[in-house]
Each structure stands twice: as C-alpha cells, then as structure tokens.
Amino acid sequence: MTLTTVSQNKSHGGVQGVYRHASQETKTEMTFSVFVPPHADGTKLPVVWYLSGLTCTHANVTEKGEFRAACAELGLVFVAPDTSPRGDGVPGDPNNAYDFGLGAGFYVDATQEPFAKNYRMWSYVTEELPSVVAANFPVDPRRQSVMGHSMGGHGALTVALRNPSRYRAASAFSPIVAPSQVPWGEKALGGYLGADKAAWRKHDAVALIEDGARVSDLLVDVGDADQFLVQQLRPELLKAACEKANIPLLLRKQEGYDHSYYFISTYMADHLRWHAARLGR
C-alpha cells in the first residue's frame, strides 16, 4: 500500500499529518488525517477513530475539532477519514443535494446502482483504512475506540454495536440514532441500500439494539439549540432503546449549543478523556 504524505505539521509535541492512498474499496483516491502524539520509540498507542458528518471531509475536525492538546496529554492517536468517495466518475446526487452522494456516504456499503462500485464506506472505515493505519503508524489494534458527529455519530454507534470486541468505547456528538425513522436516513439508506427496510437495520443504532446488539456503555452529547434535534437526531429513541436493553447511556443535553464545531470542540477533550479511561483498561 503506497501512502502519499500531503502535509505534516508539528503540534503539541506530536505530528498532525494528512495522507492519501488509492483505495481498493472505493476505487478512488482517499484522503485522511492522523495525529500521532509524542511517544517513545517502539511504543504502540491506542487509537480513536473519528467519523465526520454530512458535507464534511477529514479537514473539518482536523482544523476545527481542537483535539490535539488532549490527545497529546492522553497519548491517543486520532484518525479522521473522509465521509465518501470523491473524484472523476464518482456519482453524486442528481440534484446536487448536500445530504446524499458526495460528502454523504453514510458509512454503508451501497448495493444500488450507480453507487455500488464506489460507495463502500463501511468496508473502508472498518477494514481497509484500519489496515493502512496499522501498517504505517504506531497504533495498538487491541486498543481502538470510535466517535463521530451527526452522520458520523450514526456511523460510530453502528460500527461499535456491530464490532463490540474491537472497539472498547464509543461516543457521539449529535448523532442520527435512528436513520430508518428520519428524513436524512430514509433518503440515504433507501438510495444506497434499496427499498427493503430490513436491509437498513444493520445500519441503524436503535434497530441494532432492538435486534440484540450490545456495548458496555455509551456517551452522547447533543445541544438543545441544535436545529436538527427534533426531526433528524431524535436522541430520545436511543435513550429508550438503551434503557430497555440495560445499556448504560450517558446522554447529555448541553444548554445553548447547536450542531456546529463550536459545540464539538467545547466537549471534545471531555470525550477523549472518557475514551482514554476505557482504552487504558
């Protein structure tokens, strides 16, 4: 696997890098960022995966997430993939909508044409990219966790619920907890996976919990001023599902905060400390 370095900058004693490689899953070039904190030679570090939301690339959290000071303090590698394949020939939404197609891969492997060839974001973030990162960076594959925002919060929850032995912790900012029941999710899952809603359940955190998936605990923050809270996010559905399944859920509604990176950056270090406590076990 050939990895191209796009940029590297020293930060908080570590290195913030942006890298590019040819993906076998998406059949495109994929760009991602990795922050490696200061560490002794030969040390293998725990890794936190961050999945971004609609319209985002790796750059949004890399530039606005304010995670590096906490990662340097806690000794965490922080990896941020892109949210969809990109490039010539990659199909997008025919009406150029922001919530489907380019920038909106929804962390699924598409089965519907014309998306099936390139939109394999589930396999990319759970299999291919972890292999690339493990081969090129000082990470300990036994100590992984996952977090995300909005569409990426949906991705983080489903990734953790379907792989509980791989990820020691999962948290989310403003996640889409039940995409089968909200407009964003109905559009994306229908477009990528087809009309059979039974096929959607493995990409729906609430449905996964209803069907028996379990994790040790979850941390979720939402802002009570989030414009998408009522129609698209619906955290109360996750709360009800976790209560019924006896999954400890710390659901915090933060007063005055919206859906933006001003919100995420405010609570990022708090989430990373929560992850570090579980990754250190």
Active site residues: 150, 226, 259
Give the pair of three-digit tokens for residue 143: 């100590």
Residues 59 and 64: their CA atoms lie apart, in Å, by 8
Question: From the centroid of its chain, how far is CA 260?
Answer: 16
Give the pair of three-digit tokens for residue 15: 């290195």
- Say if residue 94 is preceded by a cis peptide, omega within 30 of 0: no
Residues 28 and 243: their CA atoms lie apart, in Å, by 41
Q: Do 275 and 171 contact (CB within 8 A), yes or no?
A: yes
Pairing of strands 29-36, 14-22: antiparallel
Question: From the centroid of its chain, how far is CA 254?
Answer: 21
Contacts of residue 265, Cβ cutoff 8 Å, sequence gap at least 6: 64, 65, 66
The C-alpha angle 119, 125, 127, rounded to 5 degrees, equals 105
Give the burial string for 68-78 (b: 16+ CB within 10 Å, else e). bebbbebbbbb
**DSSP of 169-198:** EEEEES----GGGSHHHHHHHHHHH-S-GG
Could you tell me where the beta strands, DSSP code E, fall in the chain? 4-11, 14-22, 29-36, 45-51, 77-80, 139-149, 167-173, 218-223, 249-254
